Chain A
Amino acid sequence: MTLRLLSIAAALAAALASPAHAAVKVLACEPEWGALATELGGELVDVAVATSAMQDPHQVQAKPSLIARARNADLVACTGAELEVGWLPVLLQQSGNPKVQPGQPGNFAAADFVRKLDVPARVDRAQGDVHPSGNPHIQTDPRNIALVATALGARLAQVDPAHAAQYQQRTQAFSQKWQANLARWAQQAAPLKGVAIAAHHKAYTYMEDWLGLQEVAVLEPKPGVEPSASHLEEVLATLKARPAKLVVYSAYQDPKPDEWLSQAAHIPAVKLPFTVGGTDGAKDLTGLFDDTLARLLAASKP
């Protein structure tokens, strides 16, 4: 019995003695926002990421581990623009955490801070899984990362005012680094301007806008609908009229349709990381774009 009491006392002491390290708990829906929160928060934040680069961010489930993380989060950082509509509402509702409910400072939607492309003129599911607020895959353009960084830095400062100065400092440092990156990438990517590409999913609209790529075909007949054999034939016919230099797909996607098109149209199929962790090179946000550009440049060389 003494032993038991001692062990309880030890547990108590351990709890008391644990450093008063009150890291802000961030639950990021996608790896890119997890990486960004880490860049902006450093030691001040404890980041958990709900999905990996191997998962389709549309199709995630509100699984128990995520509910537990949402329960304890101070900030939930997601893309928004209905990307997580199939699971995030349930996750937040079941979390019982008032801090991260929509409209609260602890609920951050990155897409709110950028200009969205592909905003449908008509919202109808006959067009597939369209997003009424526009294409949600904003992280494929590093200029959007810069915008979101500023907003997320300010949000971290709002959620954790005690460390506002540090967040501001880190955000500025990140922004400086990022501007330098942008300048470097703009130079590197010059040969990609005007290059025609085909894409598996409409996941690269923002990247195309950034680099001046021309998307001539999409393998999915409608957003979120798997490429069918007949549609691939149509894509092939389109490419005969308007040849593409390469076809891109994301790390989490089944590459079979892209490989088929690659062989049929004699163009390289390029796997892009899509987000942090999608490829070995995409270890962090800088790596994500370094690797994306390297892959595109390598494949588009004549």
Chain B
Amino acid sequence: MVAWAGVECTVDTLRATLAHYATTSDGPPQGAGPHVISFENVSKRFANGTIAVHDLDLEVPKGEVTVLVGPSGCGKTTTLRMINRMIEATSGRIVVDGQDVRQVDPPQLRRRIGYVIQQVGLFPHRTVGENIATVPELVGWDKQRIRARIGELLDLVGLPAEVVDRYPHQLSGGQRQRVGVARALAVDPPIMLMDEPFGAVDPIVRGRLQDEFLRLQQEVQKTIVFVTHDIDEAIKMGDRIAILRQGGFLEQYAPPEELLAEPADDFVADFLGAERGLKRLALIPVSAVKAEPGPVVAPDDDGHRAPQAAEAFGSDWVVVVDADRRLLGWADAAEAAEKPKVGDAEVRPFRLQVDADDSLRAALNAMVQSHTGVAVRVSHGDRYEGLVTLELLSKEIS
């Protein structure tokens, strides 16, 4: 498994590419207003009478990941495919880039919208390079430009250059997925549609692909519509989440924190699952709560200072911090009281520490794994910032 590495060093290539598009006229359409997709009263009724999408109004903001999530039969894939006219809406209007999609010839429309599907759908009779070259060839790039672009994209998605002449069946699932992403990004479309893109790989690879994709997205800032049935993936990937119910009803459309904090109804609450509180904690950074100062003593303090500090805080242990506010560990208050100095008692390290960027879920994990029942917040590795307690957590999420 090749790591999806080298993202940082390829950002420059990508910027160069974007700059190149800005200065040449044959690049993909750019700057034609905000790249938003809007659904206006869109419905889809199939020939057999099934209503897949029911009077949908939805605005997809530029440069964000919008996730469509819901149980099977909720119309999420239908909604996605109506954007590039793989499925035609029965009524209503879909506007992409300020243009009603019905006014654009479908092949033309699709060439400016990247598309990644679950089974990747790589062409088995074409090499990796030829697969990536698909849309550039359709829009008529010259060979040299295509070849240069293939190199850039392989680099961008973290695949070694030598895979260019391999056939898809010679790659691992994760590698195929990356080629699928590279192919969708080939002409640098401002909009990407992704239908369960990580559904076909094992959970470990999926987690890594999700992380790398999020990092990639921070750089490329595409407008992405992402379909999944997995609420955890939705929460992880989405800037905004649209929860759909069977029959194509939009139940709630909100950023993940808001969704978890205030589910619109029982359906949404059920769909979010019993561990809604925990999922929310995963989205909130430690920096969002004000840490308690805690029962802090210095190693040079008299031993009897320890029980005083502990009692004031309501614990039977103290946090030992030196003059530079470096965290040394914790000590048993009763044991320290019998020593001349706090530092003479056994000072045990906190096994888990959190910093400002960690999630409250990580803080909770630190709490339940520690003797002290609190999470220690540090900065710069060992600078003591305070304690995160269970009370602070429940105050934050209730």
Chain A complexes with chain B: no
Residues of A at under 8 Å CB distance from B?
Answer: none
